[in-house]
Amino acid sequence: MNRSYPAEVDVIIVGSGPAGAAYARVLSERAPDARIALFEVGPTVTDPPGAHVRNIADPTRRADAQRRSEGPRGGSAATVDSPGAVKSGERRGRPGTFLLEDGFAADGEDGLPVAAMSSNVGGMSAHWTGACPRPNESERIDFVDDLDELLGEADRLLGVTTDAFEGAPFSDLVRERLAATADAGREPHARVQRMPLAVHRRADGALVWSGSDVVFGAETRSNANFTLFDESLVTAVIVEEGRTTGVRVSDRRSGEEHEVRARVVVVGADALRTPQLLWASGIRPDALGRYLNDQTQVVYATRILDAAAEPGDGAPPAAGISATSGVTWIPYTDAKPFHGQVMQLDASPIPLAEDDPVVPGSIVGLGLFCAKDLRREDRIEFSDEHLDGYGLPAPRIRYTLTTRDHEVLEQARAEIVRLAAAVGEPLGEHPFTLPLGASLHYQGTTRMGVTDDGESVCDPWSEVWGTQGLYVAGNGVIPTSTACNPTLTSVALAVRGARRIAESL
């Protein structure tokens, strides 16, 4: 950490989420002599910087870290804290996030009423569930021929495992019952299986959740040429004669403005704020902000009626994911265009049952994320008339579910009822569709493409069309309609871009 802003570096990274951290890590490994400055608008809320808040044992300190992540207004009370708040459809964000103040839905459109962001070192990776499934079938990017190798590298950087919850109560039973009803006709790789998670278990048995700290790794932290600047708002990317030459950045502690020169700039804020910064900088490719892709989410809960407490159980389920959790994955297929994330109650980020006590692991929450029918009309717009809490052009959402989207939703509702009945006794008369934006998996707004035809923002290595030395990173780069959690894919694409930068340096 340093507050002495440099006049010039080789590479500037904007945003400290997993994609920005991946650029820092790969460059530290492959171009160790390159001077790198990373600017993050939010504060450092964990030690080490970028760590997951779940790793904070003290609940008061953890709540404070979440509050400090909630944007320029800081500490909104409008967070989800009960099943009732979620199911009533109230416009609330999850702890550690903040909502768009307005502009989340245009008249006559569906919008994204609970679209949310985080501002802190580590970005959303300080608050996420850690699910890292691989894309399947049409989710995959067919013009990235080394995608599997890149996904493997993303697994390494994120510290992905599948055995952290081995032996969790009833998890084998849940997978067995799901497989019996869901696996027919699926290829082996697309059958019910353990969810790949960015989490590992220490020798003492404690769970450690990956945030950007794991992606940074010792390689970045020990790199004397890398510096992380928190509470630093990048207000513009500077472009001269078709090439980026640096950024303008405001120190949010002192209010001082700085200009930092660089050979390469990587903008990896998030799928809402990366196009915001490009637009504010006058960098406006035709596809900027377009093809906005959220994943509509259907949830349901079921109880394993024949469950009995297993030896050693006795404590009630812990809040959040704990040693009694099990997380199961039902991969996306084109025939069933949704991705299943099945979490025993103590693993669910959204409470699904209110009765207590329950046998640990016996309440199972099922969630299906639906792939979006991609449309150029679904987009983020900006104008100088509306400013956000940071003083930048505020995002205005234009977003509508198509007839096809509603058909997929109906298919998902029927499927989740079938799956819930296979596992146990469903809780409630019908599944619940979360408010749009609840997935936090926004994509497509700086999408990758093969040619500069107005339908993409960057090339297959994430360099912005028409602006040399400017790269974009994060979920917004993903060009396909996905249902699976996007972080692993966005880190894989970041690895590809970072390797290209390392070669150029």
pLDDT of 86:
46
Average pLDDT over residues 262-289: 98
* Residue 413 confidence class, pLDDT cut points 50, 70, 90: very high
pLDDT of 76:
47
* Residue 356 confidence class, pLDDT cut points 50, 70, 90: very low
pLDDT of 65:
97
Q: Mapped to the 3 state alphabet, what secondary structure does 68-97 carry?
A: HCCCCCCCCCCECCCHHHHHCCCCCECCCC
- Confidence check: pLDDT of 187 > 70: yes
* Residue 323 confidence class, pLDDT cut points 50, 70, 90: very low
- DSSP label at residue 303: E
- Confidence check: pLDDT of 85 > 60: no
Catalytic residue among 52, 127, 339, 441: 441
Contact 135, 489 (CB under 8 A): yes
Average pLDDT over residues 14-32: 98
Among the residue ranges 15-24, 62-71, 76-85, 87-96, the one predicted with the least confidence is 76-85
Contact 106, 396 (CB under 8 A): yes
Q: Taking the model in full, what pTM does it have?
A: 0.93
441 is catalytic: yes
Q: Judge if the upstream peptide bond of residue 357 is cis by omega within 30 degrees of 0.
A: yes
Please state, in angstroms and rounded to a whole number, the distance separating the CA atoms of residues 229 and 303: 47
Say whether 488 sits in a helix, a strand or coil. Answer: helix
Placement of tokens 């002192």 in the chain: 254
pLDDT tens readout for residues 202-213: 888 888 999 999
CA-closest candidate to residue 374, choices 334, 402, 336: 402
